[in-house]
Copies of this chain bind each other. A is one copy, B any other.
Amino acid sequence: MVVSEGIVLIGAGNVATHLGAALRRAGYDVKQVYSRTEASARTLAERLDTAWTTCLDEVRADAGLYIVSIKDSAFGEVLPQLTRRNASALYVHTAGSMPLSVWEGLADRYGVLYPLQTFSRRREVDCSEVPFFVEANSAEDTGLLCRLARELSKRVFMASTEQRGYLHIAAVFACNFTNHLYALCQELLAKHDLPFEVMLPLIDETARKVHELSPAEAQTGPAVRYDENVISHHLQLLADRPDLAKLYELLSKDIFRSTLSPPSPR
């Protein structure tokens, strides 16, 4: 254990919930949970068997590490109040798109601990497989955060603020946008009396494939062949859904474009 004075979690959303559970399992003392919302604060505190508060002035001043997992738009309000409490502690946030410099002028020791995963409260996640990306304002605290992250996960990397920004965008494409394609599937199938479950083997294989082949090598379907018969037939069937037709056309053209340029190396 690299933080003997205990940890306070600022935020009680999906990331805080999963991170808190992983820290507890690793033996850490999670001393307190703060959330603006009482129900969230209490729920997570009960899961972690610890104290909670909805008032930043009541956040304990004696922790060694404060982990901030809140909506990016709340940073401006929360950070200055939080860092007043304890001048010697280490402060980190878990946001992909927030720079390290968001802490500048507010604390002496600060960093970022970014877990690249999609967390939902209703699903258990094996934290040991989650890639963590670490950054801090000193070599010492970079080392400390790496050691902490290695207690939670097998996959720990250092990443600059700029790299983390691109990792976050990549995660939006690979997870949020992908999941939205699944949602559009479900909508389309339901309309034609077909259950979404029939797509699961295909969804699984599509994910498994890119463990072995690069995405460019793994591509199949009408767009990569630019099979105009199929594409125009599909666009006809989507005539009553211009939003889907537009997306279909844009992605098909982009798939075909990418076959014309050499795939980037794995």
A residues with CB within 8 A of B = 14, 71-73, 96-97, 116-120, 122-123, 125, 129-131, 155, 157, 159, 162-163, 165-194, 196, 198-207, 209-225, 227-230, 233-234, 237-238, 243, 246-248, 250-251, 254-255, 258, 263-266
Cβ contact within 8 Å between A229 and B73 = yes
Main secondary structure of the interface of A (DSSP, over half): helix
Chain B residues positioned under 8 Å from A159 (CB to CB): 194
Residue picked from A177, A219, A227, A228, most chain B C-beta under 10 Å:
A177
Pick the residue among B97, B184, B220, B264 that contacts A118 (CB under 8 A): B220
**28 A-B pairs, CB-CB below 8 angstroms?**
A97-B230, A116-B201, A117-B201, A118-B202, A119-B220, A120-B218, A159-B194, A163-B192, A163-B193, A166-B189, A169-B188, A169-B234, A171-B199, A171-B202, A171-B221, A173-B182, A173-B188, A174-B181, A174-B185, A174-B199, A175-B202, A175-B221, A176-B220, A178-B181, A179-B218, A180-B219, A180-B255, A187-B264
